[in-house]
Amino acid sequence: MMNEEWAALGLPLLIAEETGMGFLATLLKGIAFVPAVVHGIEALFGGKSGSDKKAAALSFVSAALNIGEAVTNRDIVDEGKFNDGLSKVIDGVVQCLNASAWAAGK
């Protein structure tokens, strides 16, 4: 992302340049992908348990973020906490979708 793009987003350039924003951009794209993953998992595994569907969603998102490489590159320093955070994001997306018209249309 160019400096002008960071400025347009209102992000300080110093932060963008010094804190590994490459991984942050990847993380944000991965999080944006979660609703589609949850929807797809529900379509494929609707009859499975919630924990099975969550494990599948976590696996898909982890693969999309290439967590193994991020750990190796030290972009992720505590894989357990990172996975716990992803798990909470997935739980939040499921809660929002279940409270929406999306759930009513199933």
What pLDDT does 25 receive? 81
How many H helices and E strands in the chain?
Answer: 7, 0
What pLDDT does 106 receive? 60
79-102 pLDDT, tens digit per residue, is: 899 899 999 999 999 999 889 876
Point out the least confidently predicted range of 9-13, 41-45, 62-66, 77-81: 9-13
Alpha-carbon gap, residue 34 to 65, rounded angstroms: 11
43-64 pLDDT, tens digit per residue, is: 999 899 999 999 999 998 888 8
Place of tokens 């490489």: 69
What pLDDT does 86 receive? 93
Q: Where are the beta strands (DSSP E) in 3-92?
A: none
How many CB atoms are closer than 10 A to CB 96?
Answer: 13
Place of tokens 């987003």: 9
How many CB atoms are closer than 10 A to CB 39?
Answer: 14
What pLDDT does 13 receive? 41
Q: What is the DSSP letter of 66?
A: T
Q: Which tokens belong to 51?
A: 């924990």
